[in-house]
Amino acid sequence: MKASEVIKRYEVFCPQEFSMEGDSRGLQIGTLDKDIQKVMVALDIREETVAEAINKGVDLIIVKHAPIFRPIKDLVASRPQNQIYIELIKHDIAVYVSHTNIDIVENGLNDWFCQMLGIEDTSYIQETGPGRGIGRIGNIKSQTFEDLATRVKEVFALDSLRMVYYKDSDLRKQISRVAICGGSGQSFYSDAIEKGADVYITGDIYYHTAQDMLSDDLLALDPGHYIEILFVEKITELLNQWKEENAWPLDIIASQSSTNPFHHI
């Protein structure tokens, strides 16, 4: 079957037009007008991902983070980053990107995060289009900030968790309304406050932004960017579900490569 048939079904679930303005999305490398036998789902395209795809005979990679996220000045083979692109092209591996549209779409990544943490009665943090938006905010069973932090660390199997607070008494503050945005969502923290969040969970929080959050009486948790690895599990499940429903003659696999650059001691 054609790669385009798989992507057509994917875009029924998660349309490209749901992406935020200026976002990298859709086909980035190769062609969808080709026959395929194996699809791999990945969070990132790095050297490890490419080697895995080549070794496993993958024809199409569906990925969350775009491999081309800065302008390419050349394709000189001696540059390590360029080698990623060159190897993909050499082995005719197509790369399709689903970035902020999977964050925004209903029953997408942010909704899956809420399900894992028990955040209910949700709405979006900031509107991005008619009836849709980025991030989620909702209600959670009343618990202390410290208990919520412990829960987040356990649910996402983290080796550490950054907590944004000043006073030890903040650890005992009762939390009942939580906002969450996968990836780097610190720019939406004012929207989370406007919608009544006690705590904001998002990755890559800057030092001064953390201070501003506390000045605005908002506690926060930074579990890092890599919690988005959930994308791999969930999209693989959906693709295999559609495979069964449509009798696709495909192998659909989840990447086993770790592309998390951060570890803590």
Summary mean pLDDT of the chain? 97
pLDDT recorded at residue 110: 98
* pLDDT score for 55: 98
Pick the CATH number of 3-99+228-254 from 3.40.1390.30, 3.40.630.30, 3.90.79.10, 3.40.50.720: 3.40.1390.30
CA atoms lying within 13 Å on the CB side of residue 10: 27
The amino acid at residue 52 is E
pLDDT (tens digit per residue) in 44-66: 999 999 999 999 999 999 999 99
Q: Which residue has the higher pLDDT, 73 or 171?
A: 171
Contact 30, 59 (CB under 8 A): no
What digits encode the pLDDT tens for the residues 187-204? Answer: 999 999 999 999 999 999
- 117, pLDDT greater than 90: yes
Residue 211 has pLDDT above 90, yes or no: yes
Tell which residue, 259, 224, 262, 202, has the closest CA to residue 41: 259
Homologous superfamily in CATH for domain 106-223 = NIF3 (NGG1p interacting factor 3)-like (3.40.1390.30)
Per-residue pLDDT, 70: 86
pTM over 0.85: yes
Average pLDDT over residues 116-144: 98
For residue 69, the model assigns a pLDDT of 87
Per-residue pLDDT, averaged over 222-247, amounts to: 98
141: how many CB neighbours lie within 10 A of its CB?
Answer: 11
Give the residue ranges of DSSP H helices in the chain. 3-13, 47-55, 80-90, 100-104, 109-117, 145-155, 189-194, 207-215, 230-246
Do the two domains 3-99+228-254 and 106-223 of this chain adopt the same fold? yes
Task: Kindly tell me if the per-residue pLDDT of 16 is higher than 90.
Answer: yes
The domain locations on the chain are: 3-99+228-254, 106-223
- pLDDT value at position 237? 98
Among 151, 143, 150, smallest CA distance to 198 is for: 143
Q: CA angle at residue 186 from 139 to 146, to 5 degrees?
A: 50
Residue 206 confidence class, pLDDT cut points 50, 70, 90: very high
The answer to whether the beta carbons of residues 225 and 204 sit under 8 Å apart is yes
